[in-house]
Amino acid sequence: MPIAITPPETPVQKDLSTVVQVPPPTENKKRKIICFSDFDGTIFMQDTGHILFDNHGCGAERREVLDEQIKTGERSFRDVSEEMWGSLNVPFDDGFEVMKSTLEIDPAFRAFHAYCRQHGIPFNVISAGLKPILRRVLDTFLGEEASAHIDIVANEAEITDDGSAWKPIWRHDNEMGHDKALSMAEARAQAEEALIGDDGSVPLIVFIGDGVSDLPAARQADVLFARRGLRLEEYCQENDIAYTAFDTFADIQIEIEKIRDEDEKKTAGKGRLLLESVDGDLGWQNTHFGGSVSETASRPNWKLCRRILLQDWLDMDGLNFIVLFVHSRGQLDKGQSAT
């Protein structure tokens, strides 16, 4: 795809570190790993849009001119992209055949995706490209069954049967067309909401990319992987952004496994939710653990019932758990204890 608008430069730091920086697990808090990956140049070594534009559209020379207009800020990403996609004159199936014969998948991606499925790690594609193209590519290179386990966050498209008109249907009404940072923030909020009432897990958002166009999404991630030797890694080094370099998805799998092993040791495979401890007067005190009750109570639309194991926290014989209710009025009531 044509690159997104380059983020503004920040002061360059000379003493840079590229050591992996993964947020540590809070005590007894398991992290739910959720992966987001760029598509072009990351999962696949080539760019699907470039293949189409160079062979059936504006051509490589004009595409390079348009890319430069984005870099300099002369034109917006959305404006340039509409010109590029509008230059195509090829039926979808014919254009796909060119992509199929040109694209190379990362040699370790299939194994990595199988690993994610095996361990219940959601894997999502986030792209400035067109969803119909990305889905067809994944269906072809992975098989439809495996592809169905990948959610694609990208722009829709209207493509005429004869291929004379290709029109992106943008996700967002702004100069980007698809604001990856916004999509990532929405994904985090959805993940946090989905984990409410679960086992105390908190989302750990992983992003995998290769270019500066990935930076808006990368800034929303907890863990960033940048393909070694490409522009995203260079930008991270220039701007002191924590990341881990990778050559293939096998490198990423090794790091993800380390995170899972660390969580297993910390939590014995179990997460816990927030604990509300009892003080000497049998009043209720907030304890920060997986999100404080004060934070929860400040959200009056939350209606939760949480069970908290206490043995490791309170040495109270016979008391196994307490059920707490956060009512819609935003107040915390003592629940019922049980043995």
Report, as an integer, the average pLDDT of 3-25. Answer: 40
Residue 63 included in any domain? no
Indicate if 258 and 149 belong to the same structural domain.
Answer: yes
Residue 131 included in any domain? yes
Known catalytic residue: 106?
A: no
Of residues 123 and 201, which shows the higher confidence score? Answer: 123
pLDDT tens digit sequence for 43-63: 999 999 999 999 999 999 999
pLDDT tens digit sequence for 228-251: 999 999 999 998 999 999 999 999
pLDDT at residue 199, as a whole number: 64
Exposed, middle or buried: residue 140 (CB in 10 Å: 0-12, 13-18, 19+)? middle
Distance of CA 153 to the CA centre of its chain: 10
Known catalytic residue: 333?
A: no
- Which CATH number goes with the domain that contains 176? 3.40.50.1000
Nearest to 130 by CA among 78, 167, 161, 175: 167
Indicate if 263 and 280 belong to the same structural domain.
Answer: no
Of residues 280 and 258, which shows the higher confidence score? Answer: 258
Q: Does the structure show a pLDDT above 60 at 128?
A: yes
Report, as an integer, the average pLDDT of 251-280. Answer: 69
Indicate if 286 and 259 belong to the same structural domain.
Answer: no
pLDDT at residue 267, as a whole number: 64
Indicate if 186 and 210 belong to the same structural domain.
Answer: yes
Residue 130 included in any domain? yes
Q: Does the structure show a pLDDT above 80 at 76?
A: yes
Name the average pLDDT for the chain. 77
pLDDT tens digit sequence for 148-206: 999 999 999 999 999 999 999 999 999 999 999 999 999 999 998 888 756 668 899 99
Annotated catalytic residue, options 40, 214, 222, 263: 40
- Neighbouring CB atoms inside 10 A of 318's CB total 7
Instruction: Indicate the pTM of the whole model.
Output: 0.72
pLDDT at residue 47, as a whole number: 97
Give me the phi and psi of 126, to 5 degrees please. -125, 120
Indicate if 166 and 258 belong to the same structural domain.
Answer: yes
* Residue after which a domain boundary falls, among 267, 290, 310: 267
* Residue after which a domain boundary falls, among 220, 248, 267: 267
Full domain range(s) for residue 302: 276-338
Indicate if 238 and 287 belong to the same structural domain.
Answer: no
pLDDT tens digit sequence for 294-307: 333 443 333 332 32
Residue 10 included in any domain? no
Annotated catalytic residue, options 15, 38, 54, 179: 38
Quote the number of domains for the chain: 2
Indicate if 290 and 246 belong to the same structural domain.
Answer: no
Nearest to 88 by CA among 130, 129, 59, 131: 59
H/E element holding 158? strand 150-159
143 and 119 Cβ atoms separated by less than 8 Å: no
- What string of DSSP letters covers 245-304? EESSHHHHHHHHHHHHHHHHHHHTT------EEE-TTS-EEE--SSS-HHHHHT-TT--E
